[in-house]
Structure 1
Amino acid sequence: MADKRLIAVEIDEETLSSSGPDAEHERRVAIFDLIEENTFGIIDDDGGPYVLHLSMVERKLVFDIRRESGDKVHAFILSISPFRGIIRDYFMICESYYSAIKTQTPHQIEAIDMARRGIHNEGSSLLAERLEGKIEVDFDTARRLFTLICALHAGQARAPGG
């Protein structure tokens, strides 16, 4: 039986460089959470565990998947365009949440947090849908991958020219 999980995530610094210590920290936390617990299997592949190498080519996210030995399994290209609105909304609601923590009541904070989780779930569902037929993930893994995509996007959005 295949070990359907990721054991490492590598980021191509030439195409997805972080814009500073905050963005780098967000990436490290997202990768740690993803590696800690995930379900990740390539459809029609008996291998695993996998190493995921992420890079950006022509504004598309490349999932270059390899075996633990380094042997290439498959590369999938994922357009970021369908995620742009969700990512933008997610960042806006996160800013509202962090502002609310300072001044709002617990009930108001909880309402904003529920909205934040709802948008995150929407992005996670879209990601799982886009990976369907290529990569098998459970919902929690899709959530962690979406968090990583947001962290990578945040680094690009804040980078000069990004």
Structure 2
Amino acid sequence: MGAIEDTSQSVCQSCRTGGPTVRERGRVSLMAVLCDPCWNVYANQLAIEEGATARPQVAPDPDDVTPYEPPTCRDCGAAVRPYPTNYERWVYLAGEDLPAKDVAPCHRWRLETIRGRHSSIPAEIVAVRIRGIEPLPSDPVRPAHRAVCLCPEAVQEAEQERAAEPE
């Protein structure tokens, strides 16, 4: 009789090593099976590409009675809404949805509700960047705050992105 190989330990898809930090990654759907160092490189690169460079929102202390102020944009002063992404980074999104025709493709996001395992109760809301299939012009999308920011640099960037967009 031959020895039975233990296949319960996962192997990182990037560096091909096994270990306790290798696991499935992605909140909404499986993105990859990676170890912590490879995941951090991949997620940080994706965050820079997608503009998800917001600071993580700190959960307030339940015993803290000081007033809570929502985060504001350092450029325009407007209130922003931080959301976690599918790859465990954070992005500032606008407060309301807009039609897809009014938002440049690089700034289109959707909010996905994650339910608890074996439950219909919503557990978390995650921001997912729209890629691949283009939404219809009237479909609602949540723009990144940078797309609607009123600071002059952001307005100029938005105009350049709209001009470079294929018609």
Give the TM-score normalised by structure 2.
Answer: 0.26
More relative contact order, 1 or 2 (CA 8 Å, 6+ apart): 1
Give the TM-score normalised by structure 1.
Answer: 0.26
Question: Counting helix residues as a fraction of each chain, which structure ranks higher?
Answer: 1
